[in-house]
């Protein structure tokens, strides 16, 4: 095997491993769909995923939203999620981190956006 072939294989294996590690959606319990309707506490508008925090039942939940390109392609802009904006997030709780959820959809100002 020449050095270029070995390098290509190594890059491919590393890329697949990184993608698998990033998309570990198996750590969320898809059998426990729940909804939070609350004002945004904080927003992290960055890749690989946008995050918001919301107060729910006396706790602060972190909701993992879609990547920036998907949020923007579906019409969600950073200013729409500024702190104080009331949103409804539907998603699944994490099985590994307390008070974390994976969001499937978000409603902002009456507009519902599918995130997956």
Please answer whether residues 92 and 102 qualify as being in contact, where contact means their C-beta atoms are separated by less than 8 angstroms.
yes
Residue 30, token pair as written in the block: 């898809």
Q: Is the model's pTM score more than 0.75? A: yes
Q: How far apart are CA 11 and CA 32, in angstroms?
A: 37
3-class DSSP state of 99 = coil
Task: Give residue-wise pLDDT tens across range 16-70.
Answer: 444 444 456 689 999 999 999 999 999 999 999 999 999 999 999 999 999 999 9
Domains in the chain: boundaries? 25-114
CATH class of 25-114: mainly beta
Nearest to 103, CA basis, from 58, 49, 59 = 49
Of the candidates 29, 38, 41, 71, which has an alpha carbon nearest to the alpha carbon of residue 57? 38
């Amino acid at each position: 095997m020449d050095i270029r072939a070995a390098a290509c294989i190594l890059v491919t294996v590393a890329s697949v491993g990184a993608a698998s590690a990033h998309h570990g959606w198996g750590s969320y319990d898809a059998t426990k769909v729940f909804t939070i309707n609350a004002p945004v506490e904080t927003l992290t508008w960055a890749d690989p995923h946008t995050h918001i925090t919301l107060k729910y039942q006396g706790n602060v939940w972190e909701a993992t939203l879609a990547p920036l390109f998907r949020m923007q392609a579906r019409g969600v802009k950073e200013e729409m999620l500024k702190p104080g904006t009331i949103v409804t997030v539907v998603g699944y709780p994490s099985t590994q981190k307390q008070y974390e959820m994976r969001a499937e959809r978000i409603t902002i100002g009456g507009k519902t956006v599918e995130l997956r």
